[in-house]
Structures are given as structure tokens and as C-alpha cells.
Amino acid sequence: MKQLFLFPTLILLSMTFSSCEAKKQQSQPEESADTATVTVPVFNADSAYRYVKAQVDFGPRVPETPAHKACGDYLAEELNRFGATVVEQTAELQAFYGKVNARNIIGSYDVENPNRILLLAHWDSRAWSDHDSNPENWRKPVDGANDGASGVGVLLEIARQLQTQQPAVGIDILFVDAEDQGEPRWESNLRNSSQNYWCLGSQYWAANPHEAGYKARFGILLDMVGAPGATFPREAYSMQFAPHVVEKVWNEAQANGFGQHFVSKQSGYITDDHVPVNQVRGIPCIDIIQLTENGFGNYWHTQNDTMENIAPATLRAVGQTLLNIIYKEY
Ligand code: AHN
Ligand code: ZN
């Protein structure tokens, strides 16, 4: 089943593009504007679910562990298999406990196209379950099925779709590392440090993009997009830096019946990977992140952030909305 969208302005644009062509064809009847359509691929949530599970099956993707290395290789290989141009960057970054080797992985489509959209998610999983109800679990790493793997899984499924049908805009998929290794709760002395030990990979990328002077029209960050019944409020930094992108994405979601996830209410400011993209790289970037009254959900930074708590329906709501946004952009 393909989804069809009326797309009247596309025809006008293509006519101005090729004025020589238009002259030659002047005698031909013009296509009426309201028959112009764009076909958006259908997001396969089961496929996305499998990409989430494949990451979790490596074990926690804590930087500098064998599972992390193996999963990074897998992600680069999948992007390559789906026809992306893959670039990686590694950097030694300052974590609160010392240096950490981080690896950002970028898959680009239609690289010559100057009109680009950036899609990103963090691929590392947290080294500590410091919000677990059982203190004995605090020093265990999280599976990060939702916190990490869900966003990456949705983007891998989008990569697979991009290969089959090229949209009008170029797409860059950025998997950032070392987002989730910020100081655990017991290091409360570091809370007031001026250093932000979260989002290390995206901070590095924003200052050192994979391509000199890299720009995109806008960016969309996915963070914790797989929980059953997840709600995504309009996050405050997103509203501050990219209100038009929030508007576009939430309208698209609500128009397609995903309003139970993409709720209209606003949230507070969340320090996440979109902040350096906005502040350092100057790309308007939003964060689609699960948030409820009591924070990031019951399983956040606990031993229960597992595949049992991943719902294909939520992956679909986010993935289909993104595909609609991508294919309607021109
Ligand atoms: C903080 O808790 C500082 N920021 C939320 C970003 C985050 C953590 N996303 C996933 N894990
Ligand atoms: Zn986290």
C-alpha cells in the first residue's frame, strides 16, 4: 500500500526549472496542478524492530567494549548495504571519568544535493543503570533498547527505504556516540560543572562536521522513540531554535493519526544531541523524545530498558512521520 499526497507546488517548481523543455512542449496540454502527487514509502515497523533487536543482541554498547565495536561495525555495514556513502570519525573526548574514544558514523544519500536534511540518534548505551530501583544494579550497563537502539533502528529502516526510492532532498543519517555517558547520580558533585559530559559525540561532530562547512535545512533527533504508548511533547530547545520544524513534524504526525504520540503540550529544556547541532553548527534541529509527567519513563537508565518494552506501533508512528516529511520536502 502506497500513501499518496496531493502536492500542487511541485509541478510549478519543475516548470520553472526547465524553461527550455517547457517551450518545446508548449503545445502539449499542461498537467493540472491537483493531479501532482508524491509517493511516500510505507515504513515497515517490523523491520525497524529487527534493527533495534540486532543492536541489543550485541550487548550493551558502552564505548570501548567489544560489543560497542561490533555494533559500530554492524551499523556502518548496514548503511553501506543500503546504498549510503559512509564516513566515520573517531575522537578522544573528555568524559567525566577520563578520556573516551568515540566513533560517529555518518551515512549520506545524494551527496551532491545542496538541499539536505539531517537525521540523528545516539548509538551508545549507558554504562550505568543509575535510576534502577535496586542499588545493586546501579553499576551495571543498560541494554538501551529504547535509549539508543530505538532511534537508530528507525533510521536504519529509513535508510533501507531511501535506497529503493530517492527523495528530492539529500539525507544524512548521523549516528552519534558517547551521548549517554554523563555523570551518574552518585557523582552529584559534578552536576554544577561547566563541562557538559553528555552528548560528547554530537558536541564533537557539531564542531568538526564530517564535511567542512556542512549545513542542512533542518535536523531531526530521535531519542527514546520505541516505548509502548510513548508521548513526545514539543521540547523547549526545539521550540526555541526550530519552531517551524516542530510545527511541520507535529502537524504531519497528527494529520496521519499519530496524535496520541505527538502531543501538543510543551516540555521543559532537555540537554540532548540537538543542542550542539543548533548552537554550534547553526542547523535548526528538533528532538523527538519520550517524556511524561514523571520524566523519561519508568525504564529509563534501568535494567528494564529491554526489548520487552519496545512497541512496533511507536516505531511506526515516528518512522512513517519522518518518511512523510522527507518525501514531501523539495
Ligand atoms: C540528561 O539527562 C542530562 N539528558 C537527557 C538526554 C538523554 C539521556 N537521552 C537519553 N539519555
Ligand atoms: Zn540515556
Interval 75-92: pLDDT, tens? 999 999 999 999 999 999
Distance 272 CA to ligand 1 centre (A): 6
What pLDDT, on the 0 to 100 scale, is given for residue 28? 46
What pLDDT, on the 0 to 100 scale, is given for residue 256? 98
Distance 152 CA to ligand 2 centre (A): 14
Contacts 24+ apart (CB under 8 A), 308-311: 309/145, 309/146, 309/226, 309/227, 309/228, 310/49, 310/52, 310/53, 310/145, 310/146, 310/150, 310/226, 310/227, 310/228, 311/226, 311/227, 311/228, 311/229, 311/230
Backbone φ and ψ for 94, nearest 5 degrees, come out as: -85, 105
Residues 6+ positions from 272 with CB-CB distance below 8 Å: 179, 198, 199, 221, 223, 235, 237, 287, 289
Does ligand 1 come within 6 angstroms of the Cβ of 300?
no
Does ligand 1 come within 6 angstroms of the Cβ of 271?
yes
Distance 286 CA to ligand 1 centre (A): 15
What pLDDT, on the 0 to 100 scale, is given for residue 48? 98
260 forms bridges with which residues in the sheet? Answer: none
Does ligand 1 come within 6 angstroms of the Cβ of 270?
yes
Does ligand 1 come within 6 angstroms of the Cβ of 147?
yes
Q: How is residue 234 written as a grid cell?
A: 514539543
Q: How is residue 215 written as a grid cell?
A: 549545513
**How many CB atoms sit inside 10 A of residue 162's CB?**
23
Q: How is residue 163 written as a grid cell?
A: 535506497
Pairing of strands 85-95, 170-176: unpaired
What pLDDT, on the 0 to 100 scale, is given for residue 10? 42
Q: Name the burial class of residue 133, with classes exposed (0-12), middle (13-18) and buried (19+) by CB atoms within 10 angstroms of its CB.
A: exposed
Please list the ranges in the chain whose pLDDT falls under 50: 1-4, 6-35
Does ligand 1 come within 6 angstroms of the Cβ of 266?
no
Alpha-carbon separation of residue 33 from 37, 328, 330 (angstroms): 9, 15, 16
Q: How many whole angstroms separate alpha carbon 251 and alpha carbon 242?
A: 14
Backbone φ and ψ for 173, nearest 5 degrees, come out as: -105, 120
301 CA: nearest ligand 1 atom: 11
73 forms bridges with which residues in the sheet? Answer: none
What pLDDT, on the 0 to 100 scale, is given for residue 272? 98
Task: Determine which residue's CA is closest to atom 4 belonging to ligand 1.
Answer: 271
Q: How many whole angstroms separate alpha carbon 198 and alpha carbon 176?
A: 12
What pLDDT, on the 0 to 100 scale, is given for residue 192? 64
**How many CB atoms sit inside 10 A of residue 218's CB?**
20
Indicate the top mutation candidate among 123, 196, 296 to test ligand 1's pocket, ranked by most ligand atoms within 8 A of CB.
Answer: 296
Contact yes or no for 281/216 (Cβ under 8 A): no
Q: How is residue 233 written as a grid cell?
A: 511533547
What CA dihedral angle connects 156, 158, 162 and 163, to 10 degrees?
A: 40
